[in-house]
Amino acid sequence: MQKPQRIGVFGGTFDPPHIAHVVLAANAIAQLQLDSLVVTVAGVPWQKVGSRRITSGELRLKMAEVAFGGVAGVEVSDIELRRKGNSYTVDTLAELSGPDIDLFLLVGSDTAAGLDTWDRYEELAQLATIAVFPRRGHEQAQPPSGFEWERLDLPGLEVSSTDIRRRVEAGEPIDGLVPTAIHEMVIGSGLYIKPGNGDPQQREPER
């Protein structure tokens, strides 16, 4: 009998993707012995809508393709960008599932304990094993009962897209926090610079 394919799913806004995302992807593939890891760029991240300006899905997808391009086994997918309405993880898992596929959903320990607040969480629990990666201050957090899960052992890289956006807006360096190509895209295109403060308007990077 053929062994099921082990497929990881790593979703996010990736606004922008950073070096910790890349390290996580590579280590998850190794530790979970994945056949592939699908990186899904959120189309309409309902938890963040209204809280801040979100970069276009097209540009976030392009940045993700560039950031993860050197990681063997990673497939960057537009599955959520093609779907209309809010992006719900359970819909993505349902679309990727199959009789010969074992799914593993990567989530941070800071959100793991709240999985039972996610849309159709009981269905989500049936679709995938939760792979929890550590976030500072929440190292021991784990999913609620009813979820199959395992913990990933990763280097302690505390980098966040929120801080990167803040640093760019404040004129602080982001060298080393994002892959070199992403640095060039962000700085060269004026991403995350607020209009009207003497800096260039945000524009799409040249292709």
pLDDT for res 69: 96
Q: Does domain 5-158 bear CATH number 3.30.9.10?
A: no
pLDDT along the chain (207 residues), means of 10: 92 96 96 98 69 86 97 97 88 96 96 95 98 90 96 85 95 96 94 67 37
| Residues 128/37, Cβ–Cβ less than 8 Å | no
Token representation of residue 192: 């995350």
- Predicted TM-score (pTM) of the model is 0.89
Domain segments of the chain as ranges: 5-158
Give the torsion through C-alpha atoms of 112, 154, 73, 142, to 10 deg. -20
pLDDT at 201: 39
